[in-house]
Amino acid sequence: MTLFEKIIAREIPADIVYEDDLAIAFRDIHPQAPVHLLIIPRKPIPRVGAATEDDAPLLGHLLLVAGKIAREQGFDGTDQGFRVVINHGRHGGETVPHLHVHLLSGRDLAWPPG
């Protein structure tokens, strides 16, 4: 069982800010911005490149949840805004093998990323 599956099962504590039938979102334990949330599917897909056609609605749902949280927390305006990031594998910076969407906001974020 991965770390994030344990968070879903409430075996490990997390600051959960959103949940529904398909996904949960919680605060990253090492925030890289004033707002740093992780949105994960309940289904244990290891990483985005391991998703299949059947997962298309679920992948879309994760992005819709990002937008919903941004609206609810009031940083969806274009004068504020946010970034979503998905890391896949070593070059991408993946450290937890359970698909997760980083939702970052609250400061100007550099581009290109490091």
Nearer to ligand AMP, 37 or 54 (CB): 37
Distances (CA, A) of 2 to 12, 18, 45, 50: 11, 20, 11, 16
Q: Binding to ligand AMP by residue 93, rule CB under 6 A?
A: yes
Which residue in 1, 9, 29, 64 binds ligand AMP (CB under 6 A)?
29
**Angle at CA of residue 63, ends 58 and 65, nearest 5°:** 90
Q: CA end-to-end span of the chain, whole Å?
A: 30
Q: Contact region for ligand AMP (CB under 6 A) — 57-65, 72-80, 91-99, 105-113?
A: 91-99
DSSP SS3 for 42: coil
Whether 100 is catalytic is yes
Q: Which pair of structure tokens corresponds to residue 101?
A: 């969407």
For 45, phi and psi rounded to 5 degrees?
Answer: -80, 125
Nearer to ligand AMP, 61 or 100 (CB): 100
Q: Contact region for ligand AMP (CB under 6 A) — 16-24, 61-69, 95-103, 106-114?
A: 95-103
Which residue ranges make up the site for ligand AMP (CB under 6 A)?
3, 12, 14, 28-30, 38, 87, 93-96, 100
Enzyme catalytic residues: 100
